[in-house]
């Protein structure tokens, strides 16, 4: 057995500023290419076996105003016409894809954005009804939607209830007024509470909350205050992300004063105070950045080893394939990943021309599947059994000995233990699990600097 002392602060600091993928997929999205296009996707859809269970993702890339910290593909509008056109095209895409893949069972539907509730009650219910016509949506399917609490009226909340939504994610991010001002997103706790009440009155049983640390002007004290306030909503899950300042990719982030951003050590303390507060309140840590009440499905999935990782983060969704709809959406099929055109017009033109909007993707190899499995287990369970993974995927014992050998410096720094090929990331190094997982990433180019810092 290779072991080490407890991870030290200096060891953690050593890895803080490394830029590492979040591994919501493997291979990660920057490695998708035009080698996979509509023809491959068409074949992959038609090859989905009968009896497979699908998960559906719908992307709505519109918001009423832009938050300067935003890292999503979204477009700002206060007009109905572009939204109506978009939803019309989305329905067309649903019909077309359903025709290719067949009427499979659907256990999860996720509406992401942007602000998906911006479509309004009528269009929302029209899309739900189209999905129900074209797929066998299970009666107890989880239907989740991301909500901007600043813009959800009683009519839309009622439509979400009527459409069978079971889970809503409320973006709070921070209640630090200086940070809200710097991001041009003013949102009081009362506003969020009113939104949560509307959703609960509409029958939506599970509410999630999203928090961000590392925002300009945020402090350890204000992060602690934000999470304390968020707990008053009694959320089932809380996701805690570090703000990723990547102005080279997200040009609007240039408005953010980089001098007001907390440094790596402050970010770490902010992340720790939020996590400690949640654990004291009885929440279970889920993987890298989620927390769940013990009665929540995600907590149960973690305890029973069924936790999965996908583009929405952590999930208990055991679907055989994920089908994405809308501009920039990503899908995962047995054969690989596909991504739609990111531009709304580009995506719309391709769908309106009667085709698929796939512009990028990657066909996965057996080696990719093996590495993806190991990375997913590390990200979900903080543990991966390498000999068992090699057997599962039909590789010879010893095939990953180089990777195990190269883990030794991380073991020496306390980021991992290795016992007879079973890698375990100790609790104290949980927030550096990506660093351990990255040892199995055959595509990683640490010099590229396109990913968020490790904490
Ligand atoms: S509401 Fe969300 S998606 Fe829209 S701009 Fe703000 S952070 Fe981005």
Q: Measure 451 CA to ligand 1 centroid, in angstroms.
A: 19
Summarised one tens digit per residue, pLDDT across range 170-194 is 999 999 999 999 999 999 999 999 9
Q: What is the C-alpha to C-alpha distance for residues 45 and 191, in angstroms, rounded to an integer?
A: 43
DSSP state string for 129-169: HHHHHHSEEEEEEEEEEEE-GGG--HHHHHHHHHTT--EEE
Tens digit of pLDDT at every position of the chain (455 positions): 333 445 666 777 778 778 889 999 999 999 999 999 999 999 999 999 988 999 999 999 999 999 999 988 789 999 999 999 999 999 999 999 999 999 899 999 999 999 999 999 999 999 999 999 999 999 999 999 999 999 999 999 999 999 999 999 999 999 999 999 999 999 999 999 999 999 999 999 899 999 999 999 999 999 999 999 999 999 999 999 999 998 998 999 999 999 999 998 899 899 999 999 999 999 999 999 999 999 999 999 999 999 999 988 999 998 999 999 999 999 999 999 999 999 999 999 999 999 999 999 999 999 999 999 999 999 999 999 999 999 999 999 999 999 999 999 999 999 999 999 999 999 989 989 999 999 999 999 755 544 555 55
Does 454 contact ligand 1 (Cβ within 6 A)?
no
Reading the block at residue 141, the tokens are: 């399917």
Pocket mutation for ligand 1, best pick of 119, 148, 169, 215 (most atoms within 8 Å of C-beta) = 148
CB 264 within 8 A of CB 16: yes
| Omega before 114 within 30 of 0, i.e. cis | yes
**pLDDT of amino acid 4:** 40
* Protein residue with its CA nearest to atom 7 in ligand 1: 70
Instruction: Answer positive or negative: Cα dihedral of 243, 249, 255, 261.
Output: positive
Query: How many CA atoms lie less than 13 Å away from 418 in the CB half-sphere?
Result: 18
CA gap 371, 44 in Å, rounded: 22
Residue 2's pLDDT is what?
37
Contact present, 245 and 256 (Cβ < 8 Å): yes
Q: Which ligand 1 atom is the nearest neighbour of the CA of 66? A: 5
Residue 250 near ligand 1, beta carbon < 6 Å: no
Cα 366 to Cα 268: distance, rounded to the nearest angstrom:
36
Give residue 133 CA to ligand 1 midpoint distance, Å: 31
Question: What CA–CA distance (Å, rounded) separates 1 from 3?
Answer: 6
Q: Are strands 62-63 and 75-76 parallel, antiparallel or unpaired?
A: parallel
CB 91 within 8 A of CB 130: yes
- CB-CB neighbours of 3 under 10 Å: 12
Q: Is the CB of 63 under 6 A from ligand 1?
A: yes
- Mind giving me the DSSP string for 56-100? EEEEE-EESS--TT--S--EE---SHHHHHHHHHHHHHHHHHHHH
State which of 60, 65, 70 you would mutate to test the pocket of ligand 1, scoring each by most atoms of that ligand within 8 A of its C-beta. Answer: 70
Rounded distance between C-alpha atoms, residue 389 and residue 392, angstroms: 5
Judge whether 316 and 307 are in contact, CB under 8 Å: yes
Nearest 5°: phi and psi at 37? -135, -160
Check if 210 has its Cβ closer than 6 Å to any atom of ligand 1. no
Nearest residue (by CA) to ligand 1, atom 6, is: 67
Q: Does residue 148 line the site of ligand 1, with CB under 6 A? A: yes
For ligand 1, atom 8: residue with the closest CA: 70
β-bridge partners, 229? none
């Amino acid at each position: 057995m290779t072991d080490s002392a407890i991870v030290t602060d200096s060891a953690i600091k050593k890895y803080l500023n490394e830029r590492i993928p979040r591994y919501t997929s493997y291979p990660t999205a920057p490695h998708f290419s035009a080698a996979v296009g509509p023809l491959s996707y068409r074949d992959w859809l038609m090859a989905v076996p009968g009896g497979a269970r699908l998960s559906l993702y719908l992307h709505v890339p519109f918001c009423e105003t832009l938050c300067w910290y935003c890292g999503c593909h979204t477009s700002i509008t206060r007009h109905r016409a572009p939204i109506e056109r978009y939803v019309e095209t989305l329905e067309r895409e649903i019909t077309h894809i359903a025709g290719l893949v067949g009427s499979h069972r659907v256990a999860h539907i996720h509406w992401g954005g942007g602000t998906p509730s911006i479509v309004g009650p009528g269009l929302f219910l029209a899309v739900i009804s189209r999905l129900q016509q074209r797929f066998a949506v299970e009666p107890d399917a989880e239907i989740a939607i991301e909500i901007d609490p600043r813009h959800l009226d009683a009519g839309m909340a009622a439509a979400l209830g009527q459409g069978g939504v079971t889970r809503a994610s409320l973006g709070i991010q921070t209640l630090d007024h200086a940070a809200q001002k710097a991001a041009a997103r003013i949102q009081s706790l009362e506003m969020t509470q009113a939104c949560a009440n509307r959703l609960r009155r509409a029958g939506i049983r599970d509410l999630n909350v999203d928090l961000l640390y590392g925002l300009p002007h945020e402090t350890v004290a204000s992060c602690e205050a934000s999470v304390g306030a968020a707990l008053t909503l009694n959320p089932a899950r809380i996701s805690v992300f570090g703000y990723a300042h990547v102005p080279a990719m997200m040009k609007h982030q240039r408005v953010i004063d980089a001098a007001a951003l907390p440094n790596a050590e402050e970010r770490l303390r902010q992340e720790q105070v939020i996590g400690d507060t949640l654990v004291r309140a009885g929440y279970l840590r889920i993987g890298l950045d989620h927390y769940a009440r013990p009665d929540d499905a995600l907590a149960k999935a973690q305890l029973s080893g069924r936790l999965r990782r996908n583009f929405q983060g952590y999930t208990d969704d055991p679907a055989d394939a994920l089908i994405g709809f809308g501009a920039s959406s990503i899908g995962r099929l047995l054969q690989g990943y596909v991504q739609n055109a990111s531009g709304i017009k580009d995506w719309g033109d391709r769908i309106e021309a009667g085709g698929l909007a796939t512009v990028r993707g990657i066909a996965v190899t057996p080696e990719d599947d093996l590495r993806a499995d190991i990375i997913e287990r590390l990200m979900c369970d903080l543990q991966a059994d390498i000999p068992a993974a090699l057997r599962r995927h039909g590789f010879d014992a010893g095939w990953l000995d180089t990777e195990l050998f190269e883990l030794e410096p991380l073991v020496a720094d306390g980021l991992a233990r290795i016992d007879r090929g079973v890698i375990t990331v100790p609790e104290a190094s949980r927030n550096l699990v990506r660093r351990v997982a990255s040892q199995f990433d055959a595509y990683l180019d640490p010099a590229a600097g396109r990913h968020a810092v490790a904490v």
